[in-house]
């Protein structure tokens, strides 16, 4: 059977093409499954498509270079460069910014890495691609476990205004300790406007994943608490 895929010294045959596409699909699928388990919108199918598409772009670049290099001067790196630029827009769509947080940065970075891996596979760098997969899985799985054990502390300050100092201090301390917030300092004084109200100035340290504003809302709902001012 004549191999119609091979032209003018082309280094890619049908077996090469199929193998590279399957490897790109496999690696993209592995990373995509992990992202899907983490409830990210860019999951299995997205990562497979990015990896396979990038692989196709790299192989197309090779085929064009081999076929037309004797006719015109081609840059085999131009198509891959455009792929990585285009994937940047796709990754930007994975980033979700809310009032208090930014989500999707890991997924966006993962999509970009998947495109790079797909290009590497398309160019035939199998060992490099597999090693990147190994390091990706270590980053996504193992470092997540380590991250949970490392306390990422933030320090902030807030004021609680109350008419009952003793009960309020007790309530505030219990609420903070129950939510694993460390109290670094407490200062109590009368407010400048009236001696009927007390101002409790509290300095705290807490894990960056803790929603401190929700905790302060619970404190505000406590009896005798008039107002809570949060200083980031």
117 and 158 belong to one structural domain? no
What's the chain's average pLDDT? 80
Cα(14)–Cα(200) distance, rounded to whole angstroms? Answer: 74
Cα(134)–Cα(131) distance, rounded to whole angstroms? Answer: 5
Could you tell me which residue, 58 or 99, shows the higher pLDDT?
58
Cα(205)–Cα(50) distance, rounded to whole angstroms? Answer: 41
Confidence bin at 99 (pLDDT 50/70/90): very low
48 and 125 belong to one structural domain? yes
- pLDDT tens digits, 106-146: 778 888 899 999 999 999 999 999 999 999 888 887 776 77
At residue 42, what are phi and psi to the nearest 5 degrees? -85, 95
In order of 34, 124, 135, 179, 216, the CA distances from 150 in angstroms are: 22, 39, 20, 17, 24
- In total, how many domains does the chain have? 2
Q: What is the pLDDT of residue 27?
A: 94
183 and 102 belong to one structural domain? no
Q: How many helices (H) and strands (E) does the chain have?
A: 8, 6
* Neighbour tally for 101: CB within 10 Å: 10
- pLDDT tens digits, 49-97: 999 999 999 998 888 887 766 666 767 677 888 888 888 777 676 665 5
Q: Which of 83, 114, 149 is the last residue of a domain?
A: 149
| Length of the chain in terms of residues written | 232
């Amino acid at each position: 059977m004549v191999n119609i895929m091979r032209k003018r010294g082309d280094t890619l045959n049908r077996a090469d093409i199929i193998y590279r596409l399957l490897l790109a699909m496999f690696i993209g699928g592995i990373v995509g499954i992990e992202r899907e388990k983490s409830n990210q919108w860019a999951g299995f199918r997205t990562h497979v498509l990015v990896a396979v598409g990038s692989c196709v772009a790299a192989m197309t670049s090779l085929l064009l270079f081999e076929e037309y290099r004797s006719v015109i001067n081609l840059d085999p790196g131009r198509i891959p460069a455009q792929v990585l630029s285009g994937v940047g827009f796709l990754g930007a769509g994975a980033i979700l910014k809310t009032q208090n947080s930014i989500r999707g940065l890991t997924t966006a970075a993962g999509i970009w890495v998947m495109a790079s891996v797909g290009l590497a596979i398309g160019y035939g760098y199998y060992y490099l691609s597999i090693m990147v997969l190994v390091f990706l899985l270590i980053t996504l799985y193992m470092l997540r476990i380590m991250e949970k054990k490392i306390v990422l502390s933030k320090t902030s300050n807030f004021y609680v205004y109350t008419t009952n100092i003793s009960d309020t201090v007790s309530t505030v301390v219990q609420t903070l300790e129950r939510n694993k917030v460390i109290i670094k300092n407490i200062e109590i004084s009368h407010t400048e406007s009236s001696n009927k109200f007390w101002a409790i100035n509290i300095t705290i340290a807490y894990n960056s994943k803790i929603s401190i504003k929700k905790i302060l809302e619970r404190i505000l709902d406590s009896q005798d608490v008039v107002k809570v001012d949060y200083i980031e």
